[in-house]
Structure 1
Amino acid sequence: MAVTEWLNQVKWDENGLIPAIAQDHKTGKVLMMAWMNQEALTLTAEQGHAVYWSRSRQKLWHKGESSGHQQQIKAIRLDCDGDVIILQVEQIGNIACHTGRESCFFRKLTKQGDQWAWQTIDPVLKDPEAIYKSTTKKNNK
C-alpha cells in the first residue's frame, strides 16, 4: 500500500496508531473510541465504513463484522495537532457498543453523598448475547 501525502500528515504514535473517535453525524453524540493504523484509516476512507485496528487481537476489525452494527462514514476529520481522528458516522442499528448500548460511554461519574461512583445512564437496547449469537449463526451457515 503506497503511503499518500494525506497519511503523512497524521501523527501516528510509537506503535503506528492513532485514536479514532466515532461520533453520530446527526446528533454529535460520541459513540466509541478505537485505534487505527494506516491500513485501517486507508480502508475506512476507501470503503466508506469504519475499519479499526484491534490491539488485543492484533488485526484489522471491520466495525459490525460480528454484530452487524456497521458504521457508515459521513466525514473523517483530523484534529489541529494531527494526532486524533473523528469519524462522523451513521451507526447502523443504533448500537455502537458491544454491551448492546448506543454508546460505549454509558457510565457517568456522579457524587453520592461523600462518595464518587460510576452510574449507568444509558439503557441496553439489545442483549449482547442475542446480537452475537445471531451473527455467529449467520456466519456459520
Structure 2
Amino acid sequence: MRQQTTPARAGHRNEIVVAGRITAEPAVRELPSGDRLATWRVCVARTVDSRFRGHRSDAITCVSFDPGVQDRVRGWRLGEVVEMTGALRRRAWRVGDGVRTVYEVEVRTAERVGARTAERAEAGVAGRAGVRAADREEAGPVEGRSVERKGVER
C-alpha cells in the first residue's frame, strides 16, 4: 500500500515571521460568508543592501480569522512594534468586471514587543499623526479601502 504524501512531507513550507511598526490599526469586520476578519498593516524596514532602491520599508497587510488573535491585536495602536508568525496567503474575490487578488499574512501568533517611540509618546501624538507621512504613502490602503493618488486608483 502506497503512503499518501502531504505537503509537509514533500518539503513544502509556508511560514512567515513579520516584525514591524503598526501603520494601520486592527479592524474587525464581518465578511459576506459570516466569518469575522481582523485586518491591520505593519511597516517593516528594509536592510540597507536591499536591491529595491527608493523604498526604505515594506508595508505588509496582516489578517486573522482566529478569534484569539483578534482579541490580542484589538488594542494595538499606531506606532507600536509587534511581531507575528503566520503564512502567506493569496485571497481572491469577484468585483463587477473581474477578480481582484491580494497577498496577505494570515497571522497565527501575535505579540506586542514595543510601545510607540518615546518621542511620539511624550509628544502625545495619537492616531495617524503618529505615523510618518512617508510610511503611509508607501503603505497604500488597507484591503477594502481605496485611495486615489496621482490619478491612479490602487
TM-score band by shorter chain is under 0.3
Tell me which of the two structures has the higher relative contact order, counting C-alpha pairs closer than 8 angstroms and 6 or more residues apart.
Answer: 2
Give the structure with the larger helix fraction. Answer: 1
Larger radius of gyration: 2
TM-score (norm 1): 0.25
TM-score (norm 2): 0.24
